[in-house]
Structure 1
């Protein structure tokens, strides 16, 4: 990825702004990355030769910032093309960060067309809005389609599933997960009222919510909220047990013994005996 001469780019954009002001024209949306505009345009036109670059450049610049634990739907959503622009800008700045840290970008293990900056960008943004497999792809991927069905039997019994979970600490962008320790688990349970979810939908909801930046206790509550919304019931129980946070185990205190558990519940699960029963399933 080539460098951009920032001084030239800034002067060029200033001249354009002065021209717009002189003629009383409304300029294109200004953004913090206007110095990269020509560079991004070149990349965009290769990927989307039939699309109008300025439409999506303005869409990206108009996109509001949103919390690292939220999905882009919280600020109105984004097009695939504007997401691509975001990835180009992000990758460029990862290259600059590596250079600032004096990393040799000619090293074939780091540089190249799809080198480490590209891979990091993909890991933290996903490669498209359909990519739900990366560490922070839950910030950008589309909400999973969740079908629910009538509870024809009218039986109110806990539907429970133990699943694995992968998330990222919002302080260090380091993973925490059930996968790092035997016996760690994420448990989700709900008691249906009028609607029943397909059992695979619990995993889809948890994946979509967790693949963002979180504090574990906030993640637990967010999973509760999403399952409660999908199942249309307040009787939901979420427990994350024994998760290892690599921001603690691989750096800082470097503790191999530490793990973190959290839970959130509502409705019928305020009954401690019912929670114990579900944990024993």
Structure 2
């Protein structure tokens, strides 16, 4: 076990964070706007009106903002020591945050999927500020993504950050690629879970997690 302070981030943590600022020039943005304008026009949108003439520019800017998770989040660096230190009592103490709303773009069709995330962990030597769990969700959801991977990435980075005894992630989401196209399901809900450490080994902990989250199911 090891801890992180304000001035130290080990290579494993940085690799999991993928902390790298994107660099897109003004010339590139202008070029992309031209491509989008050509596509939208071909698909039937009239760009010669007051309400649509700036649509390609707004679309590219919105897409860039929606995928800002690729830039990382330096505010996730900080972890705190806890008084647990692996004591047996701490195995029974869950730290849970949720529902955390999220919005992401499916990497298969670049259409949105959205829903709620519940994150839980059992502390060992370190904890993080409770708001950092929301930041974790946003870090990985604000990218081109798939639901299953978001859960694995949240659990993986939380594991690297604080080395907990266990991690639980539950996600439920609507996928517009199913609601707007394809099978066109009316009210689909995709649910995924990730269990690590004590949660993987102990069905009672999984059940307690679902109960604490107010979810009508058990592990």
Output the TM-score relative to the length of structure 2.
0.77
Find out whether 1:175 has 2:112 as its counterpart. yes
Find out whether 1:188 has 2:130 as its counterpart. no
**How many Å separate the matches in 2 of 1:125 and 1:138?**
10
Query: Secondary structure in 2 aligned to 1:145?
Result: helix
**How many Å separate the matches in 2 of 1:275 and 1:84?**
49
Find out whether 1:125 has 2:42 as its counterpart. no
The match for 1:159 among 87, 95, 115 is 95
**How many Å separate the matches in 2 of 1:190 and 1:85?**
45
In the alignment, is the contact (CA less than 8 A) between 1:144 and 1:204 conserved in 2? no
The match for 1:198 among 129, 132, 151 is 129
In the alignment, is the contact (CA less than 8 A) between 1:144 and 1:205 conserved in 2? no
Residue 211 to residue 259, structure 1, CA distance change in 2 (3 Å): same
Aligned length: 189
Counterpart position of 2:42: 100
Name the Cα RMSD after superposition. 2.3
Residue 104 to residue 88, structure 1, CA distance change in 2 (3 Å): same
In the alignment, is the contact (CA less than 8 A) between 1:138 and 1:210 conserved in 2? yes
Q: Any stretches of 5+ residues in structure 2 without a counterpart?
A: 1-14, 213-219
Structure with more strand by fraction: 2
Provide Cα deviations, 1:15-74, integer angstroms capped at 9, x if missing partner: xxxxxxxxxxxxxxxxxxxxxxxxxxxxxxxxxxxxxxxxxxxxxxxxxxxxxxxx9x85
Q: Any stretches of 5+ residues in structure 1 without a counterpart?
A: 1-70, 127-134, 179-184
Residue 266 to residue 116, structure 1, CA distance change in 2 (3 Å): same
Q: How does 1:40-51 map to 2 (within 5 A)?
A: none
Counterpart position of 2:170: 239
**How many Å separate the matches in 2 of 1:207 and 1:78?**
16
Query: Secondary structure in 1 aligned to 2:75?
Result: coil
**How many Å separate the matches in 2 of 1:176 and 1:168?**
6
Higher relative contact order (CA 8 A, sep 6+): 2
Output the TM-score relative to the length of structure 1.
0.61
**How many Å separate the matches in 2 of 1:86 and 1:233?**
43
Residue 85 to residue 272, structure 1, CA distance change in 2 (3 Å): farther
Query: Secondary structure in 2 aligned to 1:165?
Result: strand
